[in-house]
Structure 1
Amino acid sequence: MIHVVGHTAIDHISKVAHLPEKNCSTHITDRQIYFGGGAANIAAGIAMLGGDTTLISCVGGDFYGSDYDAWMEKLGVRQQFFEVPEAHTPTAFMFTDEAGDQMTFFEWGASKVFAQSEPPALPFVHMATADPEFNCRVAEKSEFASFDPGQDVFWYTKEQLDSILGNIDILFANQHEIEHMCRTLGTSRDSIVSRVTMAIFTMSGDGSTLYTGGKEHFIPVVPVTLSDPTGAGDSYRAGFLTAYVQGYSPLTCCRIGTVTASFVVEHVGCQTHLPTWTQMTERYRQHFGDLGKP
């Protein structure tokens, strides 16, 4: 069982010609509403791949009985939710330009209750974007923990990041997030890598790098036609974690994460084009050879 902690959200995804400067505007060329939230995206990806997962999240009074609720049930995602009837389910407003760069505005809504909630003690947990203090307490109480700060990295204090790094086994981050962590902690990337058993840093279209056992491994992207980058990192984590609990090597898990992400970026929306394990395996074989057994 993979427990995933963090946001469940409604995504409003817009395409723009360019991201505007401060005090300026831009034209929206397309706008759609999708199911999202970092933790929910990861849980949905795990479930679609056939993994067993429980989502620990916060939702508002608008969630139960909604289309999103029905979608979660269809996927088989177990729900362990803190409900805040008077609040909105968290909502993200994302703007992506023609170069693939993105800007996000996030309404926490019901997720504010994380700060007052009692964290569970879990055998295997991945912590996505959520309240920093809640994630710190989850990491302290869990047997095995992985963590990605996501775009909430800016909310973490030096003390909170230090606490997280002292209690996790795997760190995921993109190039922007790891750079900010280095600035907050006043340290280097190598120093952060040395504090965890395993670190995986993604670099958008430039692939990803795995650090484990004192070695560095580069994983190239799977070339596809990019429609929208939103959710690529979440699907990478879903693929990695699903494979990891099955016993695949860390390098193979990264390749599976890469292949899983390649499906998601082909369509707009974080959960609109999630692959099954069979679909992932077929594309994996085309780019990395036979997957084999763990």
Structure 2
Amino acid sequence: HRKGTQRDPTPGTGRDRGMIHVVGHTATDHIFKVPHLPGKNTSTQILDHQIFFGGGAANIAVGIATLGGESILVSAVGGDFTGSDYDTWLDKHRVGRFFYIEEDAHTALACMFTDENEDQITFFEWGASEAFTKADPPAFDFVHMATADPSYNVKVAERARFSSFDPGQDIHKYTAEQFEQLLDTIDLLFANRFEAEIMGDVLNLTEEELAARVPVAIFTRGGEGSRLYEDTSLTAIPSVPVTLIDPTGAGDAYRAGFLTAYQKEMSLADCCRIGTVCSSFVIEKVGCQTNLPDWEQVQERYQRYFG
């Protein structure tokens, strides 16, 4: 269902400048560098192992807050979270919280292995995030749905005034029916090239047909930049040339930049460019939240590359 002009993502329609709720995982990231991703029944050497704050929704919420926006993280954490370094980190960045707390569980864990070609594979343990499977969400005003339980996200999209969605690493949990329900209700779709291919295969749709199902679609393509579809009109957004150290978290930073710029009522193409600039900072260092830029840094780099 669409809700008339209230759900119209076109610039100048009086967007709410207030809080952005971000739904999904809060997790500890273990990031490994390997020479190559091994095949079945084989092994490879671990060249580097570092631990960082992560989880798709948390990355986006902290990114928005670092840019000067207001965000509330809608997430599930375990009994191990209160008083933790991550808890303090969220306080430091003034990220609001709408938490489901599972006292007997531990907070989610992600293990990401990246090879020398920057190809990546992720193993994710949900832990406390299982709380999403039995939770009933309220009606959020402006919400972005990142990685979370598909049935929870479907309910969020149905009840929200304005919603955007990216499937993330949980994409394989969605049924065709759940994808259909989301495409019928969301205002913005984000997906990288692999997620767009998977959704397209499940629904038997091309990228263009997938984009036509929603008012606005943004498909990120790594070093090739991103594609913005608005009412079937395609705009190509180039990437920002920087030294790539680690690609983990680039998509989350893009979404944080886009959504913050969107709340500032910038054009959709400029929102994509702001997202591109934000992701360019994150890939310069290891860790999803290690090198998130503030708005002044984004503006300076934006001017340098986009004028």
| Fold in common (TM above 0.5) | yes
Provide the rounded CA distance (Å) in 1 between the counterparts of 2:147 and 2:158: 17
Aligned residue for 2:29, secondary structure, equals strand
Residue 213 of structure 1 deviates from its aligned partner by 2.9
- Where does structure 1 differ by over 6 angstroms across 4 or more consecutive aligned residues? none
Provide the rounded CA distance (Å) in 2 between the counterparts of 1:270 and 1:190: 30
- Within the candidate set 210, 216, 219, 2:234 is matched to 216
- Within the candidate set 247, 260, 284, 2:278 is matched to 260
Write the mapping of 1:47-62 to structure 2, written as runs, cut at 5 A.
47-62=65-80
CA deviation string 1:246-290 (max 9, x = no partner): 10000000000000000000000000000000001000000001x
2:157 counterpart letter in structure 1 = A
Look up the match of 1:285.
Answer: 303
Look up the match of 1:69.
Answer: 87
Look up the match of 2:180.
Answer: 162
Look up the match of 2:107.
Answer: 89
Aligned residue for 2:87, secondary structure, equals helix
Residue 189 of structure 1 deviates from its aligned partner by 1.9
Instruction: Give the TM-score of the pair, scaled to structure 1.
Output: 0.97
Look up the match of 2:163.
Answer: 145
CA deviation string 1:13-62 (max 9, x = no partner): 00000000111100000000000000000000000000001000000011
Structure 2 gaps of 5+ residues are 1-18
Residue 242 of structure 1 deviates from its aligned partner by 0.2
1:281 counterpart letter in structure 2 = Q
1:226 counterpart letter in structure 2 = L
CA deviation string 1:199-222 (max 9, x = no partner): 000011111000003311111110
Provide the rounded CA distance (Å) in 1 between the counterparts of 2:40 and 2:181: 35
Provide the rounded CA distance (Å) in 2 between the counterparts of 1:45 and 1:54: 11
Provide the rounded CA distance (Å) in 2 between the counterparts of 1:5 and 1:189: 25
CA deviation string 1:120-169 (max 9, x = no partner): 10110000000000000000000100000011111100000000111100
Residue 72 of structure 1 deviates from its aligned partner by 0.3
Structure 1 gaps of 5+ residues are 290-294
Instruction: Give the TM-score of the pair, scaled to structure 2.
Output: 0.93
Look up the match of 1:234.
Answer: 252
Residue 186 of structure 1 deviates from its aligned partner by 1.9
What CA RMSD, in Å, does the superposition of the two structures yield over aligned residues?
0.6
Aligned residue for 2:47, secondary structure, equals strand
Look up the match of 2:153.
Answer: 135
1:95 counterpart letter in structure 2 = F
- Aligned residue pairs total 289
> Is 2:47 the counterpart of 1:24?
no
Task: Answer whether contact 2:215 2:231 (CA < 8 A) is retained.
Answer: yes
Aligned residue for 1:28, secondary structure, equals coil
> Is 2:233 the counterpart of 1:225?
no
